[in-house]
Structure 1
Amino acid sequence: MPPRRFAAHDMDFDLGPDAAANWSDVMLEHHGLYCRFDDSRVQASTSKSWTLGHIGLTQADLACVVLAPVGEERSSWQGDWLYLKLMTRGYIDIEEAGQQHRFDAGSMFFIDPERSFQESFTERAQMTVLRIPKSNLRERGLRHSLPRLVITDSSSADTRAARALIHCIAQQQVAPSPMIRDLMGRQLLELIDALLGAPGDKATSRSAEVVLLRARRYIHTSLAHTGLDTSAIAAAAHVSVKHLQHVFRSQGTTVMGHVWHVRLQHAQRLLNARQTLTPSAQEVAWQCGFATAAHFSRAYRAEFGICPSQVRASTR
């Protein structure tokens, strides 16, 4: 089941008589976070949230507040999402699994709300937060459940470039059109691909989880290749064809069955996209790795009960 749609909203903690209670209610309902203020040093805070496609984005300016994720018993639980946090000013203290971490401006890290942690803002700090659906990461063969914090290498040129691009996109806020915001969200997912990678991605690892992640990641990046087959996927996953087939059978499917499912799901997204320049059904077929438009049309109709040309006509 996909996670709930991220709610766009602005919040200001204006120090009024009901400000703390109102802020806490919104943090609990929309962000799945318990909120506690330091009554002796209370200061104004702000938070602005919006969406970029499937990704939720928040810019927060916080002071003298402690945050902790709610448990699965609450409807606002955020366990179906992963957070990428970029500190832009000040610092944040995080306690997780008995360990203390301090992140100052320029730091960037991933954290999983499925695990218990506590964030403390003892002084004023600003950060940009990406909220990423785990289903999107799972589909791409990426890590979607983190046992602990994943901290990016601040000295890496790749990290610095990714950080600069995230910061630039965050500055655009809600001004761009929905189409451009959706495209920016896809670009952020590509960046997350590069930052997260796959766990324990060594050629000698044959655990089912790692093999699946490698295979799905390769499938996702190779959908347009008509030569995408079990042998190519097995080679990319560093296992034999027989072992790869066994791993996918344990998931209740086959290697190529999964490939065609992903291709058709991707085709459905392309056909339903409402953009200024929309690809034809034939172009979608090529982009999704179908050798002929006829094969694509038959497979699409068998999966969704409608011809791709009919879908394209309705979106126009």
Structure 2
Amino acid sequence: MQVLEWSTRDLAARDRFPFWHQTLSQTLVSTWPASDSPADFNASARLFDLGAVTLSAMSHSRLQVSRPAKLIRQTDPEVFQLHLVLAGDGAMTQAGREARFAVNHLLLIDSSQPWQGWRGADRGPAESLIVQFPRSSLGLRSDMIGRLVAAPFPARAGITGVLAAHLRQLTENAGDLTRQDAEALGAVTLDLVAAACAHRCEATRALAPESRHQALLSLIHHFIRQRLGDPDLNAEMIAAAHGISVRHLYKIFQEQGMSVAGWIRRCRLEGCHRDLADPLLRARPIQTIAARWGFSDAATFSRNFRAAFGMSPRDHRHRAADDAWREGTGLD
């Protein structure tokens, strides 16, 4: 998939802030930024094209930003931006609200309404993940969405926490996605954003059935990943935690072409596969790693690992160590 990256690092000091202003306005939403110290300004960004959704990872020095009515009349893409704050804090004014926000807050901004604000951090740069999407794509009434603009809320347990985790993971892995995968994950992202907004408005029933289904599936996946180390994790526990029947849970996974137990096993094996290749865990016994991911029986673990990856856990660990040694010495 297409990934755009830019940085002010190698630019002359006088060019950094103008470059950032021009690039940001061309790729996302046009704004008027300002800095108390433009000569010391530094910033970087990665932008991922997910079809109808754009995901951006931003890092920058302290700055003030405004989008006045004059600029909106000149150009308005009619989009929302949902910011996940990773570092630093800030404040903004839009739609008659004054809001302050901090790390792990979600903040919705409307490109069609004037706003102004600032972002900064006491130490290091301010950092955010930004999801930009058409205003018409949430499927919620305008009065519901209007209650969320410039009204930051924390990403906690539940759907907001799942959305935050999804955005972080997507940012880490987006560069390896095919175009088809990127568009599919863009749709999933939009469903999760819609579900988080509806949950905040206490209007989950207003969501489209597809968005409700995707939100439930993401919650279930997150629940399972958080408990892979529990050998007693099973369908009954998962269904009870989400207020659905075991039969409904089975149906959800059948639509993915996999059983509940099969999906749990695959996630556990992927965790073991990563840990066994980690040089920092090389001294840890194989069965200790297997137990960490919920495999209590060594023979069952070894058999499942070989079926999934075509080699034993021990052979995989040795091969990963050999590959790391060759890479470190420059030998093929």
TM-score, structure 2 normalization: 0.52
Cα distance per residue 1:269-312 (max 9 Å; x no partner): 22233326753321221011112222222222222233222232
Does structure 2 conserve the Cα–Cα contact (< 8 Å) formed by 1:226 and 1:290? Answer: yes
CA distance in 2, matches of 1:58, 1:302: 43
The equivalent residue for 1:139 is none
The equivalent residue for 1:84 is 85
The equivalent residue for 1:141 is none
Percent sequence identity is 19
The equivalent residue for 1:23 is 20
Does structure 1 conserve the Cα–Cα contact (< 8 Å) formed by 2:35 and 2:62? Answer: no
CA distance in 2, matches of 1:132, 1:294: 46
The amino acid of 1:33's aligned partner reads: L
The equivalent residue for 2:294 is 289
Is 1:221 matched up with 2:215?
no
CA-atom RMSD in angstroms: 5.1
Cα distance per residue 1:251-280 (max 9 Å; x no partner): 322211211121122222222333267533
The equivalent residue for 2:277 is 272
CA distance in 1, matches of 2:4, 2:269: 23
Does structure 1 conserve the Cα–Cα contact (< 8 Å) formed by 2:108 and 2:152? Answer: no
Tell me the SS of whatever aligns to 1:63.
strand
Which of 126, 129, 137 is 2:127 aligned to?
Answer: 129
CA distance in 2, matches of 1:233, 1:253: 16
CA distance in 1, matches of 2:30, 2:12: 12
CA distance in 1, matches of 2:283, 2:93: 46
Cα distance per residue 1:186-229 (max 9 Å; x no partner): xxxxxxxxxx9997599x99953454234223211211111111
Change (3 A) 1:111 1:4: farther
Change (3 A) 1:216 1:62: same
Is 1:33 matched up with 2:28?
yes
The equivalent residue for 2:177 is none
Tell me the SS of whatever aligns to 2:280.
coil
Tell me the SS of whatever aligns to 2:221.
helix
The equivalent residue for 1:180 is none
Structure 2 counterparts to residues 144-293 of structure 1, below 5 A: 151-152=152-153, 200=199, 208-275=213-280, 279-293=284-298
For structure 2, the 5+ residue unaligned runs are 47-55, 132-144, 158-194, 322-332
Note the C-alpha offset of 1:244.
0.9
Is 1:299 matched up with 2:299?
no
Is 1:312 matched up with 2:308?
no
Moved more, 283-292 or 261-270: 261-270
Note the C-alpha offset of 1:314.
4.0
CA distance in 2, matches of 1:66, 1:11: 28
CA distance in 1, matches of 2:12, 2:105: 26
Does structure 1 conserve the Cα–Cα contact (< 8 Å) formed by 2:99 and 2:152? Answer: no
CA distance in 2, matches of 1:93, 1:301: 57
Does structure 1 conserve the Cα–Cα contact (< 8 Å) formed by 2:85 and 2:102? Answer: no
CA distance in 1, matches of 2:85, 2:234: 34
Change (3 A) 1:200 1:251: farther
Which of 96, 100, 107 is 1:104 aligned to?
Answer: 100
TM-score, structure 1 normalization: 0.54
Change (3 A) 1:254 1:121: same
The equivalent residue for 1:62 is 63
CA distance in 1, matches of 2:237, 2:130: 29
